[in-house]
Structure 1
Amino acid sequence: MPVTNPWLAGPAPTTRLDRHRLEERILNLLSSQNMCVLATSGPDGPLATPVRYFHLDFALVFTAAATSPKMRNIAADPRVSLGVFAPLVGQASSRGAQLFGRAQVLLPGDPAREHYWPAVRWQSDHVERSRSLDEPPADPLVVVEADRIVYTEHWLRRDGYAPRQFWRRAT
């Protein structure tokens, strides 16, 4: 019987990508998707929330209603994980990343917000909701600078690399 992707059979390779190539692959994934699952922990236990994100290098940013459960959880414990993934068609297309870091909430007027705000493409939401483009949203901006990332891409096996790669922020 013919096999579509014979390189998926057998044990996975263990070779690591060099840092530059791994970073390029991670940034490609972050640039080609716009939804993630945010995992927080709160008094009722874990909460996984789909969130539309924007990215600036290895930081994921999103706006959120100040009173939402995810914001309540972040206020209590800023340690979060975000899962970003590409649509799965089969094992060969498996591609995603788990980002780990601390969520920082930036309110309007916070000087740090100015660094991240240009990455947020809020205009399309405003047009969709018939809101004026003269008034940007005043919602809190949540920024998660990744401390570490677990990147998975099974296509890497084809070239002899481990399908799971590990990235840490340079110190």
Structure 2
Amino acid sequence: MPVTNPWLAGPTPTARLDRERLAERILHLFSSQNMCVLATTGPDGPLATPVRYFHLDFTLMFTAVPSSPKMRNLDADPRVSIGIFAPLVGQASSRGAQVFGRARVLHPGDPDFDHHWPAYRWQSDHVERSRPLAEPPTGPLVVVPAERIVYTEHWLRREGYAPRQFWRPTA
């Protein structure tokens, strides 16, 4: 029987990508997707919420209604896990990241808000809702700087690398 991807068979490689190449692959994933699953914890237990995100380097960001369950959870415990993944066709296409960090809620006037806001693409939402582009939303903006990323890409096996790679920011 013909095998489509023979490099998926056999022992899993353990080699690590160099930091620069791993960072490039993670940022490519972040840039090629726009939906994630945000996991928070609250008084009723875990909550996993699909969220549209944008990123600035290794910081993910999204907006939310202040009274939403995810925002209440973030107020109580800012630790989050975020799952980002590409569409799966089969094992060879498996590609995704688990991002771990602490969410911060930013408001206009905060210097960090002013730094991150230009990377947030709110304009398409305004056009879709027939809102004037001269009146941008006022926030809040939630930012999650990555403290740790577990990146998975089975295509790496073709080159002898482990399909699961680990990233942390430099000290």
TM range (shorter): over 0.9
Between 1:132-141 and 1:77-86, the stretch displaced more is 132-141
1:170 counterpart = 2:170: yes
Q: Which residue of 2 aligns with 1:26?
A: 26
TM alignment of 1:8-157, pairs within 5 A: 8-157=8-157
Runs of 4+ with deviation above 4 angstroms:
none
Structure 1 residues 107-116 or 55-64, which shifts more? Answer: 107-116
Q: Distance in 2 between matches of 1:11 and 1:47?
A: 36
Cα-to-partner distance string for 1:78-122 (whole Å, 9 max, x where unaligned) = 000100000000000000000000000001222210110011010
Instruction: State how far apart, in whole Å, the 1-side matches of 2:26 and 2:81 are.
Output: 16
State the Cα distance separating 1:72 from its structure 2 match.
Answer: 0.2
Residue 60 of structure 1 aligns to a residue in which SS?
A: strand
Q: Which residue of 1 aligns with 2:158?
A: 158
Give the aligned length. Answer: 171
Report the TM-score, using the length of structure 1 for normalisation. Answer: 0.99
Q: What are the superposed Cα offsets for residues 16-52 of structure 1, whole Å, 9 maximum, x if unpaired? A: 0000000000000000000000000000000000000
Distance 1:60 1:73 in 2: 18
Identical columns (%): 80
The residue type paired with residue 120 of structure 1 is Y
Distance 1:124 1:139 in 2: 16
SS, match of residue 82 in structure 1: strand
Letter in 2 for 1:76: A
Inter-partner Cα distance in structure 2 for 1:85 and 1:47: 18
Residue 135 of structure 1 and its aligned partner are, at CA, apart by: 0.8
Q: Is the CA contact (8 Å cut-off) linking 2:106 and 2:143 kept in structure 1?
A: yes
Q: 2-side partners of 1:112 and 1:71: how far apart?
A: 18
Give the drift of 1:11: 1.5
The residue matched to 2:11 in structure 1 has which SS? coil
Structure 2: tracts of 5 or more residues without a match: none
Secondary structure in 2 aligned to 1:112? helix
Structure 1 segments unaligned to the other structure (5+ residues): none
TM-score, structure 2 normalization? 0.99
Q: Which residue identity is paired with 1:63?
A: T
Query: Residue in 2 aligned with 1:2?
Result: 2
After TM superposition, give the deviation of residue 139 of structure 1 in Å: 2.6
Distance 2:167 2:19 in 1: 8
Q: C-alpha distance in 2, partners of 1:153/1:61?
A: 23
Does the Cα contact within 8 Å between 2:16 and 2:161 map onto a contact in 1? yes
Deviations for 1:106-163, whole angstroms, at most 9, x for unmatched residues? Answer: 0122221011001101001000000011111113100000001000000000000000
